[in-house]
Amino acid sequence: MRVSPGGRPATGYDIVLQAGVLRETAAFLTDRLPDCRAAVVVTDGNLRDLAAPLTDALRGVGVASALHVVEPGEKSKSLESLHGIYGTLLDLKADRRACVIAVGGGVVGDLAGFAAASYMRGVSLIQVPTSLLAMVDSSVGGKTGVNLPRGKNLVGAFHQPAGVLVDPDVLRTLPDREYHGGLAEVVKYGVISDAAFFGWLEENAGAILDRDPAVLVPLIARCCELKAAVVAADEFETTGVRATLNYGHTFAHAFENLAGYGVLSHGEAVSVGMTCAARLAVSRGMIPPDVLTRQTALLERFRLPIELPAAVEAPPDAVLAAMRSDKKNVAGALRLVLPVRLGEVRVFADVPEEQVTAALTP
């Protein structure tokens, strides 16, 4: 599958989706980046055994390499972790032809991606996403970045990878909660841009929950296609097209903020956020209640929450305040992505705040 950000074929790259492709990483690198002589493999402590063999394989093809392991979890997306990766690159005497290989979920991909974007003003990046969320979402599209103590993803760059290697085999060992969280973004693609895909998800929900390779490959491929099409239309998030990917996310970011990171997974927050967004669209008469009903049924089938856990304190005013500080907003106006039918969303900047708070509860 070929991705051309902003429609520029010169910066295009391949997504290779194939069982076992993780073990082909070194061959992919020498094929696509023949001048590369040094590569740092970034991963987290949970994935060390998966990632470690890559450094041997790289040395086998004449590429100096090192494994850089960060702590699992969001707190590794920091300027300090970034500094650590720069150090490993310098230890390898990595020059501008070097490559960073991110083996992990969204945290590792975002962190390693920004290291690649900024080391010597940009070196190559290969993404090897290991979580469903990273496969269908964060590894495609070129967004990279780290958090600051004052907020998430406040520092970063758009940096397209030289390639994305998706190995569905690695999903076998993904913890259930992470796998289900990834399905929230999968459901999102159906609602925002492909009603037929949404129907396919409903029909195959059982096999999807069973992680049947026969459904996983077409599932991931379709999500990557849908995301790549959006990215091609709006690489730098300037035309508004890319904003459609944010369906449910303005609510979700507020929920994650209020819950404290880690209490609610990103996918769980998105699931609740999409429920609020669809409910809001129903209340405004933009979609029939049936769309909300089908979305809710599918999310629940995928073991995802459709309301906040009782332990999360989220009074409407606090949710609104957190939503207002979302960085997707422009000049302080709340921008919401809402469905206008199953398979299509639009961005609205004129929703009265009372309607937003009313949509927080059934």
Pairing between β-strand 124-129 and β-strand 99-104 as defined by DSSP bridges: parallel
- Cβ proximity of 268 and 312 under 8 Å: no
Among 92, 155, 221, 314, binds a second copy (CB under 8 A): 155
Among 87, 206, 289, 309, binds a second copy (CB under 8 A): 87
What is the per-residue binding string for a second copy in 28-57, x denoting contact by CB under 8 A?
-------x-x--------------------
Read off the DSSP letter of residue 9.
G
Least distance to a second copy from the beta carbon of 196, Å? 33
Active-site annotation holds for 147: no
What is the per-residue binding string for a second copy in 95-134, x denoting contact by CB under 8 A?
xxx-------------------xxxxxx------------
Alpha carbon distance 138, 77 (integer Å):
14
- Nearer to a second copy by C-beta: 144 or 250? 144
Q: Which of 38, 53, 147, 47 is nearest to 99 (CA)?
A: 38
Of the residues 68, 266, 279, 294, only one is catalytic, namely 266
Torsion sign, CA atoms 259, 340, 330, 235: positive
Burial class (CB within 10 angstroms; exposed 0-12, middle 13-18, buried 19+) of 175: exposed
Amino acid letter at 69? V
Torsion of CA 53, 138, 219, 299, to 10 degrees: 120
Alpha carbon distance 207, 252 (integer Å):
27
Among 52, 86, 303, 320, binds a second copy (CB under 8 A): 86
Q: Does 165 bind a second copy (CB under 8 A)?
A: no
Least distance to a second copy from the beta carbon of 109, Å? 15
* Residues of the binding site for NAD(+): 106-110, 130-131, 143, 152
Catalytic residues: 121, 143, 185, 227, 237, 242, 246, 249, 253, 266
Binding site for a second copy (CB under 8 A): 35, 37, 79, 83, 86-87, 90, 93, 95-97, 117-122, 143-145, 148, 150-151, 153-158, 236-237, 325, 327, 329-331
